[in-house]
Structure 1
Amino acid sequence: MSVTVTDLPTIVRQLSPHISRDDTLPSLCGIYLEATGTHLFATATDRYTFALARREAAEPEPWKALITHADLTALRALFPARRPADLTLTHSRGCTRNPDGWLTVSDGTRSLRLSAGATLARKFPKWRPLFADALAAEPHQDTETLYNAAFLARWPKAAERHQPLTTWSAGPGKPLLVAAGPDFLGLQMPVRLDRQPDTPARERQDRAALRTTWADSLTPATGRRLKAA
């Protein structure tokens, strides 16, 4: 059961910033793969951000796998993104001796065999309802929303050079939806102030306060202006 992925290193680059580093949640410490017969989906999350990529890929039989953080390091080393190549991704189902199964990545010359992590893959969060709800919701932003700046910095990895990102939110408490081209979606949860009552007031500025504090600075200076010769 093999699929050809023209840009697997790109997918790894897009999703790596969203992989959890929490060892108590091993099912989140990697990239989840799901072959459906028409597409290969790849996704990763640390519960604060959630990234999803898809590629068209004919696969006769559906399967699920999870590539751990350690195996991704080996994958990046053997097939770096700076050397694009068509890679064949082969899934081998588990057996009594190895219930997790195997993934083999090959460019025709070199190959890398990884655990398919079937046990962890079965515990990965149900991602379809989350993205379906976010896509179905109409944009609605009539009050301030706080976002963690470090998490926002993850999204440039999703886009190619000079490719714009599309974003919208259905309102306070709802995730920010991020799209890069037709085959990448992302979700970022806002900062929940009700769970952080000690957040300093300067970090909780609303529009009225910002207008007041910036009014003098943004008022055009009066009087004559010098002109260039």
Structure 2
Amino acid sequence: MQIRVDVKGLIATLKNTVLFAGDDDTLPMLQCARVEIIGDHLYAMATDRFRIGVNRVQFKSATNVSSGWAILVHRDDIGALEAAYKGVKRGTLATLEVNDTGMRVGVDGHAVEMNIVARDYQFPKVAQLLQVSGAHTVPTASTILNSEYLADFKKARRSTGDMVEVTFPDETNKPVRITIRDYFVGLIMPVRLSNQGEEMLEALGVTA
């Protein structure tokens, strides 16, 4: 399968997703982003138990590609990808050759190619958690959010003019939904109990 995508859009999608990845060595699956094809977009998802972040970028073109392909990419590989193509001009296209073992990335006019090997971990099933019950743009009750965690959602913007929308659930102590235009959706757990990370982990289906 081959995908052609704007390299700046690809890197923004990946690096702004791993803002929400974990750093716990005992949970290596949470140090990765799940990268997958859905329709005509490449999606990336990461979670650290307290937050979830999902980004997407649309293909410019694709060959022999169908929804369902997915791999786990470690945050270090995403950092290396960003460093390799940091100076590439906006509008330059990258070619992704993808399969079940990883993906090879090449960029037009750039001599460096990168081979990213998929990590063999089981990523938690988090899609259902993104369906927040409620559409309130103001809290229905007192809601306390971690300001440092919240700041990372601002970093996920691709432009300083992009507005961040916050949606609060009907029930208290449930995840708060954050969206940025049509390219980002995420969740953040409210601050309440010292074991909130363990509760989120349990909801994600991960056993420590």
Does the pair score TM above 0.5?
A: yes
1:64 & 1:54 partners in 2: Cα distance?
Answer: 13
Aligned pairs, number: 184
TM-score (normalizing by structure 1)? 0.73
Computing the radius of gyration from Cα coordinates, the structure with the larger value is 1
1:32 match: secondary structure: strand
Aligned twin of 2:206: none
Matches within 5 A, 1:15-164: 15-57=17-59, 58=62, 60-61=65-66, 62-80=68-86, 83-84=89-90, 85-93=92-100, 101-108=101-108, 109=110, 110-117=112-119, 119-120=120-121, 123-131=122-130, 133-134=131-132, 136-139=133-136, 141-159=139-157, 160-164=159-163
Q: What whole-Å deviation, never above 9, does each CA across 1:34-61 have from its counterpart, x for those lacking one?
A: 1134332111110111000123345623
Aligned residue in 1 for 2:204: none
Question: For residues 68 and 34 of structure 1, what CA distance do their matches in structure 2 show?
Answer: 14
Over residues 23-80 of structure 1, what are the superposed CA-to-partner deviations in whole Å (9 max), with x where a residue is unaligned?
Answer: 1111110211011343321111101110001233456233111111221221111122
AA at the equivalent of 1:52 = V
Unaligned segments of structure 2, at least 5 residues? 197-208
Superposed displacement of residue 141, structure 1: 2.6
Greater strand share, structure number: 2
Distance in 1 between the 2:49 and 2:16 partners?
16
Structure 1 residue runs of 5 or longer lacking an equivalent are 94-100, 197-229
Percent of aligned pairs with the same amino acid: 28
Q: Is the 8 A contact 1:91 1:116 kept in 2?
A: no
Q: Relative contact order (alpha carbons < 8 A, sep ≥ 6): 1 or 2 greater?
A: 2
Look up the SS of the partner of 1:4 in the other structure.
Answer: strand
Conservation of the 8 A alpha-carbon contact between 2:51 and 2:188:
yes
2:182 alignment partner in structure 1 = 182
Shift of 1:89: 1.8
